[in-house]
Structure 1
Amino acid sequence: MTTMWGKMYDMRAPYNVRGGEISCLRVVKGFSVESWQKDTITDCPPRAGSTRVRCPQPTLFRRCYDRGEFPIMIDHNSSGKSIRWTVQPDMLDYHHYLPLFFEGLREIEHPYAFFARQGINDMFMLGQGCDKVLPVVPHLIRPIREALNTRCPQILKVTLHALQKLIVCAPKVGEALVPYYRQLLPVLNIFKNKNVNLGDEIEYGQYKRENIGDLIQETLELMETYGGEDAFINIKYMIPTYESVILN
């Protein structure tokens, strides 16, 4: 508080000097009737928060794992940790287990994150599993979209890696994803240009394939390459800055 010409004013608030007199400005909402009144100032608009991290909700994968519903167990060997399946590959129900493992992409705690990511890789490679992936693609869209919508860099990287493996794991999978681009690409459009400019320094994230901008570019190129003739126009509609890797 300060005194000027016998009046008390709070100098921490916005103020206006007019004719030797100080008048405090009242903060009002923008585009309102009050914004046209005297001695008012419009409030700053709130941040959009498009890149703000959303806290992932508890997943069904964690609940099923805690109840012991997955036919898997951890195997410690000379090359590290891996998953040991307790059933034959041809006995796996991909319609049940694969969406649950994709649900686990939002997990960041051990051992849930390890089992979810390794389980996806194994189900793509075990036996004739790749032939069973195509009918399950519509059931994978929701967990992939929810993982991308967390905006968490760690979850984004894992989800993009899983999406790339999904596209190339079997024929026609890339084409089956085209109708769902409107659900998957909005978040990729937000983070497409998220790169680190280090000048002449070395970015080790590129070597480890952890740069989100590069991962998104790789994923979009795979979507166009394996998505058929309608893939590019659908990608361009959602991400206008994308340039075709085939036409160029």
Structure 2
Amino acid sequence: MKKVGSSSSKPVGDRSPEHEKKDNQICDGFTVRAMMKNTVVRGPPLAGAFKERPAKPTAFRKFYERGDFPIALEHDTKGNKIAWKVQVEDLDYLYILPLFFDGLCERTFPYEFFARQGIHDMLEHGGNKVVPVIPFLITPIKNALSLRNRQVICITLKVLQHLVGTVGEALVPYYRQILPVLNIFKNMNVNSGDGIDYSQQKRENIGDLIQETLEAFERCGGETAFRKIKQMIPTYQSCIIN
């Protein structure tokens, strides 16, 4: 039996958990408000390490559309290839090779085909003319990798394997600038959807391609290569058996 004057209502100021939850305010961490009552600390934003970046217009496309490159598209029974209007060995590598590397960021035909196939053709026939151009290739390589686009990364890794096989130890001083993005994607074993095949068996698994590229860097980079790779990618294990 209830006492006279008693009430089932809650005392003034008493609030239910639901009401208290509604009054909670969201704030950033490490602030004065974060230490106050009825506040919920907002979590840190996503780092976005794997987020794809937008591509900027490339100098390669500009020069191609102006007709500055001595190239044309040729079709045969094996597919598309570049018809060079001059001997590849006679090209001005210091001028033209960095422009083709700049085209690694392209993803639309025919720009992406000409840029990537052109690089492989010039590396194959360049010989000693490639080494002096290396300092001018690093920025385009970094730009392509920094897009975080799976297809662009896949193609760039194949180009890097061809490049280090051509110039060897001359590429080692630039490992520090090339390897950070490879460290991010090293354990990503997904198909990139790469639609380009340079007369080789398709290799579309980014994680496997990165491992192949690091092993090529170690084999072709001389005595200091493994140490340079290990500094940037601590989980890498040597592929050379002593």
TM-score under structure 2 length normalisation: 0.86
Match of 2:140 in 1: 143
Q: Equivalents in 2 of 1:108, 1:53: separation in Å?
A: 13
Alignment of 1:24 with 2:23, yes or no, is yes
Q: TM-score, normalised by structure 1?
A: 0.84
* 1:206-225 equivalence runs, <5 A: 208-225=202-219
Counterparts of 2:203 and 2:216, CA distance in 1: 15
Query: Which of the residues 149, 152, 156 maps onto 2:149?
Result: 152
Give the aligned partner of residue 188 of structure 1: 182
Give the Cα–Cα distance (whole angstroms) in 2 for the partners of residues 64 and 243 of structure 1: 42
- CA shift, 1:71, in A, is 0.6
Moved over 3 A (4+): 20-23
Name 1:94's counterpart in structure 2.
93
Rg larger for:
2
Structure whose residues are more often strand by fraction: 1
- Unaligned residue ranges in structure 1 (runs of 5+): 8-14, 198-206
Contact kept? 2:88, 2:121, Cα under 8 Å: no
Are the equivalent residues in 2 in contact too, given 1:16–1:25 (CA < 8 A)?
no
Aligned residue type for 2:118:
G
Structure 1 residues 22 and 246, CA, compared in 2 at 3 Å: closer, same or farther? closer
Alpha-carbon deviation of 1:196?
Answer: 4.5
Question: Percent same amino acid at aligned positions?
Answer: 55
User: Does the CA-based 8 Å contact 1:16-1:39 persist in structure 2?
Assistant: no
Q: Which whole-Å deviations, capped at 9, do the CAs of 1:181-212 have from their partners, x for residues lacking one?
A: 12111100000000149xxxxxxxxx621000
Question: 1 CA distance for matches of 2:129 and 2:227?
Answer: 28
Gaps of 5+ in 2: 1-8, 192-200
CA distance in 1, matches of 2:27, 2:115: 49
Q: Give the Å deviation of 1:90.
A: 3.4
RMSD: 2.3
Corresponding residue SS for 2:40? strand
Amino acid at match of 2:159: A
Offset from partner CA, 1:143-200 (integer Å, 9 cap, x none): 001100000001000100011011112xxx2311111112111100000000149xxx
Q: Across the two proteins, how many residue pairs are aligned to each other? A: 222
2:50 alignment partner AA: T
Which whole-Å CA distance do the structure 1 matches of 2:157 and 2:16 have between them?
Answer: 52
